[in-house]
Amino acid sequence: MTVLEGQNHTSDEELYELIDERILEYGQARYLPLKERVDLRSSLFDSFRRLGVLQELVDDREVTEIMVNGPDHIFVERKGRVEVWSKGFESTEQLEDMIQQIVSRVNRTVNVSRPVADARLPDGSRVHIVLPPIALDGPAVTIRKFPEPITMEKLIRFGSVSEEAAVFLKKLVTAGYNIFISGGTNSGKSTFLNALTACIPAEERLVTVEDSAELQIRAVPNLVRLEARGPNAEGEGAVTIADLIRAALRMNPDRIIVGEVRGKEALDMVMAMNTGHDGSLSTGHGNSPKDMLSRLETMMLMGAELPLPAIRSQLASALDILVHLGRLRDRSRRVLSIVEVDCYEEGEIRLHSLYEFEEKTEERKGPDAVVSGCLKKTGALKHTEKLRAAGVVL
């Protein structure tokens, strides 16, 4: 089938015609059953226009994560469980061709000189790529799938959040509270952030800032989506998250959503929240609400040499609510706590607990254990000024 090489710029219809011609010629020389012809046609098209051997996994709605550790070691996550996949790429070159196809669609570059890159698929799935010599066993590709937007109602059905807490958070979003979502890797931060955006009033103007565009916001028509960009081959032309936050401030937004803060852009995010953009949302990696605040302090110090009391005062003024997510032993994703940022007092940021996850018993033992529990209310909201101003009743 080498005759098909170099056909990347033809239309889908023309490519299918060429594939059919080659399969017909191939079938005249040897016996080729109909099922094998159909499979060959599909696999050849996928290798040119889609993700080749991985396309089957991308189309599988049960698969939530695809992990490629070199051409012949592929793992998938289904329902929170990781398993080995029996198929693989024919060669390292075939895997590298697929990687270049992915990054070229979103105007990203990955090569030996820049071996790490983030990208996304047309369906919004997140892609992280690491090439040799950084990846010792061949190109490593991790695909986090977002098959469809998860609403707050679905999260309630999944047991990720209680109905009472969900209603409470909806009211806070509507009233314009600044909410920060924390959690570990793969705890569901982006999914939860996306669910919260559905509560934003449709008449508002929204600007999103992301490293790789993943949010699927459909309830707000007045929406501007911004995506960061890395440097080119000459090391120039980079547009950072911090650059985009500063640009967003000039776009007359009611709210700014920062997909995730990882570094000194945290300072720009906090400053934006403190300049009249109530209702802004963001996420970050942290092991607890208190740990998240410590990490935000560190990230803000990376952006400016400010006294720690000034940093903490700015944080306490900017953030209203911290929502912490986590994964339990049964691999389920849950809201573990919701806390109110009370005030900055005596050199510390005071937190006020509103909801805490209370674990009960495991319904089954072993690998199929199910952890049960509930999100228990532990306190009442102290600062209700924004609720009253927006006419929202708890």
Please identify which residue in the block is written with the tokens 């952006």. Answer: 303
**pLDDT at residue 4 above 90?**
no
The reported pLDDT for the residue numbered 48 is 62
Please identify which residue in the block is written with the tokens 């809201």. Answer: 335
Closest CA relative to residue 175, chosen from 386, 339, 13, 1: 386
The reported pLDDT for the residue numbered 80 is 79
DSSP letter at 254 equals S
24 Cβ neighbours under 8 A, 6+ residues apart: none
The reported pLDDT for the residue numbered 41 is 66
In the chain, the domains with their CATH numbers are: 9-49 (no CATH), 51-147 (3.30.450.370), 152-390 (3.40.50.300)
SS3 for 284?
strand
Q: pLDDT: is 355 or 211 the higher one? A: 355
* Structure token digits, residue 116: 């790490």
Closest CA relative to residue 49, chosen from 144, 122, 125, 120: 122
The reported pLDDT for the residue numbered 124 is 80
**pLDDT at residue 388 above 60?**
yes
**pLDDT at residue 156 above 80?**
yes
**pLDDT at residue 83 above 90?**
yes
Neighbours of 391 (CB within 10 A): 8
* Range 109-114 average pLDDT: 88
Q: Dump pLDDT digits (tens) for 302-351.
A: 988 899 999 999 999 999 999 999 998 888 899 999 999 999 999 999 99
* Structure token digits, residue 67: 């992990």
* Range 38-66 average pLDDT: 77
The reported pLDDT for the residue numbered 45 is 61
The reported pLDDT for the residue numbered 50 is 63
The reported pLDDT for the residue numbered 1 is 46
Average pLDDT, the chain: 87
* Range 360-370 average pLDDT: 62
The reported pLDDT for the residue numbered 311 is 95
- 44-53, 71-80, 245-254, 356-365: which range is least confident on average? 44-53
The reported pLDDT for the residue numbered 29 is 72
- 113-117, 170-174, 232-236, 352-356: which range is least confident on average? 232-236
What gap in Å lies between CA 268 and CA 251, rounded to an integer?
15
Q: Dump pLDDT digits (tens) for 186-220.
A: 899 999 999 999 999 999 999 999 988 888 888 89
